[in-house]
Amino acid sequence: MSTELTGAEITVRCLQKEGVDHIFGYPGGAVLYIYDELFKQDKVKHVLVRHEQAAVHAADGYARSSNRVGVALVTSGPGVTNAVTGIATAYMDSIPLVIISGQVPTHAIGLDAFQEVDTVGITRPCVKHNFLVKDITELATTIKKAFYIASTGRPGPVLVDIPKDVSQQKTAFVYPERVSMRSYNPVTKGHSGQIKKAVQLILGAKRPMIYTGGGVILSDAAARLTDVVRMLGFPCTNTLMGLGGYPATDKQFVGMLGMHGTYEANMAMQHCDVLVAIGARFDDRVIGNPKHFYNEDRKIIHIDIDPSSISKRVKVDVPIVGSIPDVLDELIKLLKAGKEQPDQAALDAWWTQIDLWRARDCLKYDRASPIIKPQMVIEKLYEVTGGNAFITSDVGQHQMWAAQFYKFDLPRRWINSGGLGTMGFGLPAAMGVQFANPEGTVACVTGEASIQMCIQELSTCKQYNLPLKIVNLNNRYMGMVRQWQEFFHGNRYAESYMDALPNFVKLAESYGHVGMKIEQPGDIEDALKEAFKLKDRLVFMDFITDQTENVFPMVPGGKGLSEMILV
C-alpha cells in the first residue's frame, strides 16, 4: 500500500514525472497548498512573474524555443482572467502548454465565492481542452492527459482547474505511464495514395511553389523540409509563423509571404501552377482574400495534421492529413525511388521570372536617412548577433521589420504572436526563451507601445538575472495603427500617438538594468555591440526612429496577394 499524498503533492510530483524543470506562475489563495509543495522541493523551479499574463507568455516562449511543454500556474478568479490573453495567444499559434489554475473549494463552486470564476467556461473557446478536477483520485490521470493532449496532434494549451479542497485531500499516488483516450487519437501517417498523387503533381509542375507555416516548426520538420526543397530545386516561402522552417539565407528562399511579404514570394504564390502548402493554414494575413488568391489555374497540395485546417478558407486538390515529418519522409522516399525528375527547363524559366520579381528589391529603404530607420536597426541586430540569436517580438511594425530583415536560418529562433497578435508578448516570452536556453542570446524586438503592456516583467528579469537585450524601436506612435490610419483613414491619427512616454533609460535603470538611448544612425552598430558584450546584464536599447516609416510591401485587407502597395 503506497502512502497517500495530498492533491498538491500529487500535482508537483506529476510535474516532476513529466520532467518539467521550470514553471511560471503567481501565487494566490486557491493555489497555496500547491505553492507549499513547490517550496518543499527543488526539481521543479518556479519563476515568479509580475502578472499572470506574463506567466503564460513565458511558458509559451519556453515551449516555442524548446519543443517542450510550457507550464504555468495561476490562482483562481483574477489569476485566471489575467492568464486568458496568454492562453488565447498560445491557442492561436498551437503552442503546447499546460496551465494549472486554482479554483475555489468544490463546495463553494457556483456560489459566487471570493475569487471565483467559471474557469472552464471562460477558457473553453481558447484551449485545446480543459478539465475541472472534482475528484482527487482523478487528479494524476488528468494531469497526464493534459500533457498528452497538449503535446500531440496539433498542439495547444490545456488547462487543469484544481479546487482548493482537492489540493488538500489525500489519495494514493500512481502516475500512469501512458494514457489512451477513445475520443482522441491523432493521426500520424499520411494516406499513401494521396502522397503518391502529390508526387505526380510535384513532378509535373512547371511553376511550383512551396509554402510552409508554423506546423513545420512545431513538428520539428525543418531539416526534412530543407532536404525536400533542395532535392526539388523549387522556390520556398515561409509564413510569419514558419520563419526558420527553411534557411532564410538560402537562394531558394524567396522571403516571407503575406500582407507584408516580399514581392517575389507573393507573386510566385499567385502565379505558380502547383502549390505545396505544408503546416500552414491559408490565414487571411497570409493569402489575403481567397477570392483573389490566384492569377493562373493551379493545383494545391496541403499537408497538415489538422483536418479542419484543410479546405477551410481555400479548396485544395490533394489533402494529406498527417504529421509533417512522416509525410515528408514518405515523400522523399517516393521521389528518390522514382526515375522522374522535375522539369528542369520549366523550372529554369520559372526561376528567371522569380529573379525578375526579386530585382524589384521590395524591401529597399533610405539607408542614407539622417534619422534612424527601423529596418537598419534590425539589419545591424542580425549582423551583430551573427544571425544566431533568439528573437522575440511584440506586435506591430517592429514585428514585421524583424520578420523581414532578420534572416532566420534555424527553426525555433523567431518567437512571435502571429495568430492572436498580442502586444505585450515579447518581453515575457523572451524570459521563457532564456530559461529554456540559458546559454542562448535572446533579444526582444519591440516598440514603445507594446513594451509598456508587460513592462513590469523587467522586475522578474532582475530577480532571475536574465540578460535579455531589448531593442525598442521608438517612433512615438502605435506604428501599425498609424500606418493604417495614413493609408485608409485620411491621415487622421486617432489615439495612435504615444504621448507622455517614460524615460526608458531611467526606467530600465530603476529596475536595476542598463539603459541606452540611441538617436543617430551611425551609433546603431556600436550600441548593439556594446549591449551584447554585457553578457550578464539586461540592456534596454531605446532607438529613436523615423516616425513616418511604413512597412512595405503591403497587401491591403480584402485584396489578393498580387495587389501590393510597394515603396
Partner 1 sequence: MENEAGALSRVAGLFSSRGYNIESLTVAATEDPTLSRMTLVTAGSDDVVEQITKQLNKLIEVVKVVDLSDGDHIERELMLIKMRAVGKDREEIKRMADIFRGRIIDVTDKSYTIELTGTGSKLDAFLEAMERSAILETVRTGASGIGRGERILKI
Active site residues: 52, 114-115, 164, 480
Binding of partner 1 by 107 (CB under 8 A)? no
Q: Find the binder of partner 1 among 17, 170, 312, 476 (CB under 8 A).
A: 312
Q: Find the binder of partner 1 among 128, 207, 398, 412 (CB under 8 A).
A: 128
Sign of the dihedral defined by the CA atoms of residues 385, 388, 393, 398, in that order: positive
Residue 114, class by beta-carbon neighbours within 10 Å (0-12 exposed, 13-18 middle, 19+ buried)?
exposed
The rounded distance, in Å, linking the Cα atoms of 322 and 331 is 12
Binding of partner 1 by 120 (CB under 8 A)? yes
Closest CB 148 distance from partner 1, rounded Å: 11
Binding of partner 1 by 138 (CB under 8 A)? no
136: amino acid identity, one letter: I
Binding of partner 1 by 314 (CB under 8 A)? no
Q: Which stretch binds partner 1 (CB under 8 A): 74-82, 194-202, 270-278, 303-311?
A: 303-311
Q: Find the binder of partner 1 among 41, 200, 308, 520 (CB under 8 A).
A: 308
The rounded distance, in Å, linking the Cα atoms of 298 and 313 is 16
Binding of partner 1 by 181 (CB under 8 A)? yes
Binding of partner 1 by 129 (CB under 8 A)? yes
Q: CB under 8 Å to 318, separation ≥6 — which residues?
A: 194, 197, 198, 201, 299, 300, 301, 302
Binding of partner 1 by 124 (CB under 8 A)? yes
The rounded distance, in Å, linking the Cα atoms of 102 and 82 is 13
Binding of partner 1 by 178 (CB under 8 A)? no
**Between residues 280 and 453, which has the closer beta carbon with respect to partner 1?**
280
Q: Find the binder of partner 1 among 19, 307, 338, 557 (CB under 8 A).
A: 307
Binding of partner 1 by 490 (CB under 8 A)? no
Does residue 390 sit in helix, strand or coil?
strand
Residue 226 · residue 278 · CB < 8 Å: no
Residue 55 · residue 86 · CB < 8 Å: yes
What are the strands of the beta sheet with 253-256, ordered from one edge? 253-256, 236-238, 208-212, 274-278, 299-304, 318-321
Q: Which stretch binds partner 1 (CB under 8 A): 30-38, 127-135, 202-210, 404-412?
A: 127-135
**Between residues 123 and 262, which has the closer beta carbon with respect to partner 1?**
123
Q: Find the binder of partner 1 among 184, 357, 365, 497 (CB under 8 A).
A: 184
The rounded distance, in Å, linking the Cα atoms of 552 and 384 is 24
Binding of partner 1 by 125 (CB under 8 A)? yes
Q: Find the binder of partner 1 among 182, 291, 339, 492 (CB under 8 A).
A: 182
The rounded distance, in Å, linking the Cα atoms of 117 and 495 is 33
Closest CB 13 distance from partner 1, rounded Å: 24
Q: Which stretch binds partner 1 (CB under 8 A): 309-317, 341-349, 392-400, 433-441?
A: 309-317
Binding of partner 1 by 183 (CB under 8 A)? yes
Helices (H), 127-243: 139-151, 164-168, 192-204, 214-218, 222-232
Nearest CA-CA partner of 390 in 406, 401, 376, 377: 406
Binding of partner 1 by 367 (CB under 8 A)? no
Q: Which residues are near partner 1 by CB under 8 A?
A: 120-121, 124-125, 128-129, 132, 149, 181-184, 306-308, 311-312, 315
